[in-house]
Structure formats: C-alpha cells, structure tokens
Chains A and B, each alone.
With several copies, the nearest count.
Chain A
C-alpha cells in the first residue's frame, strides 16, 4: 500500500520546510529575489524569504520558509539496518565462551591524522559509555585500544600479530571527507595483503552510518550514541554467523 508523505508544519502535507543559507551577493531587493528564485529551483513553492541579513561585504544570509512540492512513498523506503539482537554483558560473555571457547580478540583505535579518541574510548575502555561497560571490562574479550592517529599499516600489523578477530576504527573528522579517505586506506591495505576476510571490520564515529560503512566495505558502522554492548552483541552475532 502506498504511503505518500511530505513534510508537516501544522496541516497534513503542507510540505513546510525551514531553510537557511548564504548567497555571495550584497543584501537588497535583488538579493532577496535571488534567494526566492534559488529556492524555487529546489522544488518549493509559496516561498517566504523571511529574513535577509548582510554578514559580510558581498554576502547575505537568508532565512526561508517554503512548501516543498515532492511527495515520496514511504512504503518504498528501506534502510540498511544491522541485524542483531542487543544482548547484555552476561549473555554476551556466556555466548563468547560457549562459541569460541577462547577470548574474542579485538583491536581498535582512531586511524589517520584524527586525534579524537573519546568515541573509541567510550566503546573500548573499562568505563564504557552511559552506564554500559566498555569492551575491556568483558572477561571474554581481549580488547586493545591503540589510541589515536594510528597509521593504517600499524593497525593492520598489530591485528596480525595479535590474532585479532575484529578491527574497530573510529573516525570523527569529516572535513574534506577525510574519514572516507582513511577508512578506504585501511580497506585497501587489507585487500592488498589478502587479509580483508580475516577480520570483522567495524567503523564508528559521529558521522558514520551503517550504510556508509557497508558502502566502504566494512562489516558494520556505528553512529552517535552507540553502546559498547551493542558493539559486542554485533561482534559475537557475526562470529556465530561466519562460523555457521
């Protein structure tokens, strides 16, 4: 059954959207007209340019409300979702013990020139995140957090040396797509050395989605608010899947 949807302001399907942007023009009636024309090219009608403000010589900032024309069919929308049961600390440990009969070995860190470790620390360090223990705390997980700015080569060597089951990489800086650069570099390196299939590869970070991670060749991607137990659940679920 079709489920056509549009943005909602205060009347179903009114299409109401708020936009703000800057145009490289000097403020004035022509600038406001330009903003309106521009927004009309974005498939909107009933365009109100409600605010125009000079913010530098030759630059004007606009606030716009407008009604979007398109309607999409929600029934056709599919998200790339991870499939795993979110288990708790005890269940996960028990399951690892049962399946592997040895600790699950995980190595993680922030690669490239990214120095943000708070995210990977939240997942790996004892303390964990939001009352949820980090992987280091799991008796059945051997977790090594290498820290930040780890060159990809070093990460791979470490994984090989320590017989890791999974490599966890964190990326926070996304300016000029630097996260994609680094994540791709790691995959390429693993590919080149024929190691890609040896490891579960997880990416995470504020702007990482599962969809993006899959697209880049990772096994899973984790965004904001991820709990360590989710990561651990996914790891053991995947390992059981692979074993089967």
Chain B
C-alpha cells in the first residue's frame, strides 16, 4: 500500500536504467573471478580448517594454485582431480595438498568426463549445503514463526563471542527479532576468514564460522523461549564476501550485510574485486535464502542526508538490479536507507517521511532495512533517545521491514546491556502505540512530503541516466556515492582478481546461475 503517489512509468524507467547499469557490470563480472570466489568454492566442497600458521586451508590451496600460475582455470577442476587421486574426502584431500603430499597440477591424469563428473558431484553437494540450510530455517520458522514487521534488529559488539551471547540473550528477552554480531574493525580488509571461536575483537567480534554457530545456538534457544524465530545477522561485505556467504550457509544465518558497493566506498576495496565477489556471494544467498541487507545508509554518514537522498535511491535501484541478476527475490532484498537528517533542519521529520515513503513505494515487496540516526546523535543520551523515538515512529508509520534499533548511546560506545534495553523499550512502546498510524493517514496532494519524494526520485533518475552513460565504475570514480571517490585500479584486493581462462570451471556458479 504505497502512500505516496509516484508515477509508475517513472518507476519502470528508473528500474530499467538500473538494470542496464547492472548488466554492463555483469559483462565484466562474467569474465572474471577472484581468489575469494575460489576459496568459497572450496569451502562449499567441504574444505575447512587452518594450517600451522593459522592460515585457512582454502587460502593455502588457492595460493598454491596461484603460485603454480594455474589460477585462471579456477580451483574446482584441479581440486576435483586431487580428490580423484587421493580417494579421500575434500577435507582430507585439502590437508594432503597443504602438507605437500598431493599436488594440484595433475589434471591431465584423468579424463575430462571423470573430472566433469567429480566436479559435478562436488557442486551438487555444495548446492545441498545451501538447500539444507534453507530447509532447517524453514523448519525453525514453522515452529517459532517470524514476528510482524518492522522487525526489531539489535546489534551486539563486545568483541567476545561468549559475551556477545550474554548480550544477545538480553536483547531477545527484551524483544529483539534479529541479532547482528558486529565485526571487529577492519576484518573486512583481511583476505581470509578467521577460524574458530574468538574472544578478542575491537569494536566488534570476528566473523568466523565457529562464532556463527555459537551465536546461532544461543538464538535457537532464545527463539524457543520467546516463541518467535530470532534471526541471526552477520556481515559479508569485504574481501571475503563470498566465503562468508558460504560459512553463513553452513550455519543457518538468516541475513547478511551484502552490498554491491559498500566495500568499495567505505573500505577502499578495489571495485573490480568487489563486483566479482558480491555476485558470487549473492548467488549463494539466493540459494540458501539468506536475506541481504544493503548499505545505502552509510552514504548519509559521510554525505549530507538531504542533498544526497537521491544517491541512496539510485544505489538501491542498482543494488536491486544486481541482486536480481544473482537470483535474489524481492523478499530477500533488505535494501538500506536511513534517518540521518540533521535534526536542526526545520521539518527534518517531514523530509524523513518523504524519503522513507519513497523507498516504500519503489520496493513494495522488499523488507527494507531502515537505519536509525547515528551521525547527529548527541552525547546527551536523553536527547538521542528522543531522536530514536521519532525514528521508531517514522519506521512504523511507513511500514518498514527491518528496523535497526537506534541506541541512545550511539555517540558514545558500543551498546551496553542496559542501553539496548532502554532503546528497545522505546521501540516496543512506539510500535504498539502507533501500529496502525500509517494506515490512518494520507499525505496532502502536492504537499511538501509528496513533492519532496518526487524531487528525490527525479534526481535519482538523472543520476542513473548519467551512470548508464558513463558506466558504474566511472561514476564511482567521480565520487557520486557517499561523496567518496575510488579509482578503478585502486583500493585493496585487486591482486586477487583474475580473468577467467578458457579452461575456467566453477560448476557451483553454473548450477547457481542455472547453467547446468
């Protein structure tokens, strides 16, 4: 029920533009792969664990192949061949390779049909990893259903996974519907997925498969206690997007932060690398039914939220188009936006409503992710609490999907247990008291709100036009998003990108893309 009257032709046109932009990038993506895509394939084939230097085996194997100069064929076929040779399972084979007892260069030993079959069998197992996760999540939700939207999303970020569980239990007790474990600072810049349970992070807790499992267990218990399925969220964006998606599929994560551009803009990760990785990671998410959250909200932390509202809209449309290219359906698209306007602007709340309604109207079936005020939060926690309260109101009024709970101590520290409680109390209060408000109101035709939404859409459309002409990569180079410029060849991780050879195989991708 979009409240804002928006020209449907203009919507169709904008979506078409975004699709063309995404398709351009897709041509590039199709010809390339990255070390982390290959590592994800290994993980899905069943390779895990670390060597004596704490380097994960997927990294070791891809490194070995790269050192041999054979990376552009992809890891799948050499690994299948090694397995045929060893007669062992994937993990054991990987260990033998790592220990130098088995080589990755013996493809010639087997017939192409033998190799095809082995690869195909491995890929089908990989698909089952995703399908089984999906089935398990379904079963859980059947027992403990999902609560109504907006879903109350809360973060934990102690740095210690066990302490995080304590905090998550408290959040669930007070009403959280989704728990996100914030990652340690700069994890997105490390080019491997750390291993095992971890207890020391800065500003967050390392994303590891073991940590995923520990938190998922905690939330499974909480879900039963609370009678609602409490979702687990983590972060894919970074140098290991696809690998984290693979780990998430193993551990039944419900949601991943997964943006096609966040890493480029906010982590200075090379754009080619990011586009390649996001695609494979999203293919995995689509199959494992992992809802993705995009990061447009971040733009408004570095750029002004009124002047740049249209960049959020344009980016949402691009993110949507790329997500569709990876097979993600509307129900899995947690497109991001935020309540970040300077509260000193007169009628700031009206702007917020306009922006929120526009997003709602453009993506009526997507569980939009709505970020609370952060940048203008005050160190006076009482004032900040009021800001969150109006944010809660905007969210429930405009029928948002995923409600990131604003925390009154945002300008101070990662949330303490009591901060989270205080904040969710406000959410609970407002959602209950104003649950039906949005359905009671109409915006005045030609009023400020309607006009403002139209203006943002017009500007977004213009930006998309320009992006289509210049190409997305070029537009990012010019600093169109988040006021941040990133060169095509700059940033971290470019060395991990390679052009696919003629002999490149990735049967998991083929299956996910419906090519076999």
Q: List A residues at the B interface (Cβ < 8 Å).
A: 8-12, 16, 18, 20-22, 48, 50-51, 53-57, 59, 61, 63, 65, 113-115, 117-118, 121, 147-149, 173-176, 178, 206, 224
Q: A55-B418, A115-B267, A178-B185 are in contact. List 11 more A-B contacts (CB 8 A).
A: A50-B379, A54-B173, A55-B421, A59-B417, A61-B417, A121-B302, A174-B413, A175-B159, A175-B203, A175-B413, A178-B203
Contact B163 A115 (CB under 8 A): no
Q: 18 pairs across A/B with beta carbons < 8 Å?
A: A8-B417, A9-B416, A10-B158, A10-B163, A10-B414, A20-B418, A22-B417, A53-B380, A53-B421, A57-B169, A59-B417, A63-B380, A113-B186, A118-B302, A118-B375, A149-B268, A174-B413, A175-B157
**Does B381 contact A56, Cβ atoms closer than 8 Å?**
no
- What is the number of contacts between chain A and chain B, taking CB atoms within 8 Å? 94
Residues on B facing A (Cβ under 8 Å): 157-160, 163, 166-167, 169-170, 173-174, 185-186, 189, 202-203, 266-268, 301-302, 375, 378-382, 411-418, 421
B190 CB to closest chain A CB, in angstroms?
10
What residues on A are CB-neighbors of B382 within 8 Å?
20
Q: How far is the CA of A175 from the CA of B412 in the complex (A)?
A: 10
A61 touches B202 (CB 8 A): no
A128 CA to B15 CA in the complex, in Å?
36
Which of B169, B173, B185 is in CB contact (< 8 Å) with A173? B185
A53 / chain B contacts, CB cutoff of 8 Å? 380, 421
Q: In the complex the two chains form, is B202's CB within 8 Å of A175's CB?
A: yes
Nearest CB on A from B371, distance (A): 16
Smallest beta-carbon distance B187→chain A, Å: 9
Taken together as a complex, chains A and B put the C-alpha atoms of A157 and B185 apart, in Å, by 24
Give the residue among A54, A148, A175, A224 with the most B Cβ atoms within 10 A.
Answer: A175
Closest to B158 in A: A10
- Which residues of A lie under 8 Å from residue B167 when comparing CB positions? 10
CB of B139, distance to nearest CB on chain A (Å): 26
CA gap between A229 and B266 in the complex, in Å? 27
Chain A residue numbers with a CB within 8 Å of B159 are 175-176
| Contact between B170 and A55, CB atoms less than 8 A apart | yes
B-chain residues with CB within 8 Å of residue A176 when the two chains form the complex: 159, 202
Report yes or no: A55 in contact with B417, Cβ–Cβ below 8 A: yes
User: Which single member of A56, A147, A175, A178 contacts B169 (CB below 8 Å)?
Assistant: A56
Contact of A10 among B266, B301, B380, B416 (CB under 8 A): B416
Tell whether A178 pairs with B202 under 8 Å between CB atoms, given A11-B158, A20-B418: yes
Tell me which residues across on chain A come within 8 A of B268, comparing CB atoms. Answer: 147-149
| Cα-based distance from A118 to B340 in the complex (angstroms) | 14
- Among the interface residues A8, A10, A57, A147, which one has the most CB atoms of the partner chain B within 10 A? A10
Return chain A residues, CB-CB under 8 Å to B421. Answer: 53, 55, 61
A89, B266: Cα distance in complex, Å: 31
Question: Chain A contacts of B202 at CB under 8 A?
Answer: 113, 173, 175-176, 178
Q: Is the CB of B185 within 8 A of A56?
A: no
Q: With the chains together, A176 CA to B380 CA distance in Å?
A: 22
When the two chains form their complex, are residues A18 and B417 in contact, meaning their CB atoms are under 8 A apart? no
A97 to B267, CA, bound (A): 38
Given contacts A22-B418, A56-B166, contact A63 B266 (CB under 8 A): no
Q: Contacts A61-B421, A113-B202 known; A51 to B379 CB distance under 8 Å?
A: yes
B189 touches A149 (CB 8 A): yes
Chain A residues contacting B416 (CB-CB under 8 Å) are: 9-10, 16, 22
Given the complex, which residues of B lie within 8 Å of A174, measured CB to CB? 413
